[in-house]
Amino acid sequence: MSTAQEIKNEMIAVKNNESALQDLNSDSKVSIWNLLFFIVAVCVGDLRKQFASHREYVEDYLYNQKSGTLPWYRNKALEFQYGFDLREGTDKFNDEAATGEQIEASKIIKYATASNGAQRGSIVIKVATEKDGKLSTIEPGQQDALEAYFEEVKWAGREITIINHLADKLYLDLRIYRDPLILDADGVSIRKGNKPVEDALNEFMKELPFNGELVLQSLVDKLQLVEGVRIVHVLKVKSSSLDPTTDAYGEPQVIEVSKIPASGYFEIETFDNISYVVSN
């Protein structure tokens, strides 16, 4: 995107090539023609930004609203309104008689993603809501309503699987080489009294996109920015996902490089396996 000065320079170049404008030759920065060129350049730059923003909005809208695509299924999950019925023959909810607060409260799906399933023609939709500031599952009755909703709005022939599982458990085994002037042996900030490594890990989990890939190197990079942390040594990282057939977590598996959570999100099981040592 051109700056106002670049646009002004283009205008000056055109002026210099126009013989009828040769008298506009004052070098003063406050000359009338100079100031007018600057004003026009700012307005043109702002107009270009508006056009670019509008184009981005339209392209995004068309991409996400195209029926039957994966983004469309994701958006449909986010649009779901618990407790409301659909208008006859449409995929829109009949909520004209509801208040804004009631409508907002009915939108229980806060996070969603859609992907192709293992079987041809199948779609897997992962969903989660938010409780007490943390990602969480929706209630069984809410899932029943969500599944009935997709039966009505889905494209014919599509098999929809809703993934509404508890968070994948994340097991961290880390050795933090600390600066003893900043962090004590328990990882507590001597000056502030908090545990900055644990705070950074919680922040990292919040920053991770729903159904996003957890990359161990990114986790290390995050911890390396913590004051008092000299070296982050990853001894072992494992994760375990819920088996819906047994309603129990499976055996934790080692994450070598990265992992996408089966539920769409992770939850750190414990911080007890983080040790703090002083480097020699």
Structure confidence by residue, pLDDT tens digits, 198-240: 999 999 998 999 999 999 999 999 999 999 999 999 999 999 9
pLDDT recorded at residue 6:
86
Burial 218-231 (b: 16+ CB within 10 A, else e): ebeebbeebebbee
How many CB atoms lie under 10 A from the CB of residue 188? Answer: 17
Res 61: pLDDT: 61
Alpha helices in 25-113 (DSSP H): 32-65, 70-79, 100-106
109-117 average pLDDT score: 91
As a whole number, mean pLDDT of residues 17-29 equals 80
- Tell me the mean pLDDT in the region 5-16: 85
Give the 3-state secondary structure of residue 36: helix
Beta strand pairing call for 214-215 and 258-259:
antiparallel
Q: Region 93-112: what's the mean pLDDT?
A: 92
Average pLDDT over all residues of the chain: 89
pLDDT at 1 over 70: no
CB contact at 8 A, 213 and 258: yes
Portion of the chain with pLDDT greater than 90, in percent: 58
Q: Is 125 a residue whose pLDDT tops 90? A: yes
Residue pLDDT, tens place only, 48-75: 888 888 777 666 665 555 667 888 999 9
- Tell me the pLDDT band of 90, cut-offs 50, 70 and 90: confident
pLDDT higher than threshold 70 for residue 280: no
Confidence of residue 3 (pLDDT cuts 50, 70, 90): confident
pLDDT the model gives residue 268: 94
CA end-to-end span of the chain, whole Å?
51
Region of poorest pLDDT, from 4-8, 141-145, 175-179:
4-8
What was the pLDDT predicted at 245?
79
* Range with top average pLDDT, 19-23, 194-198, 275-279: 194-198
Rounded Cα gap, residues 235 and 250, in angstroms: 21
User: What pLDDT band is residue 171 in, cutting at 50, 70 and 90?
Assistant: very high
pTM exceeds 0.85, yes or no: no
Quote the pLDDT of residue 64: 53
Give 36 or 217, the one with higher predicted confidence: 217
Distance CA 105, CA 263 (A): 23
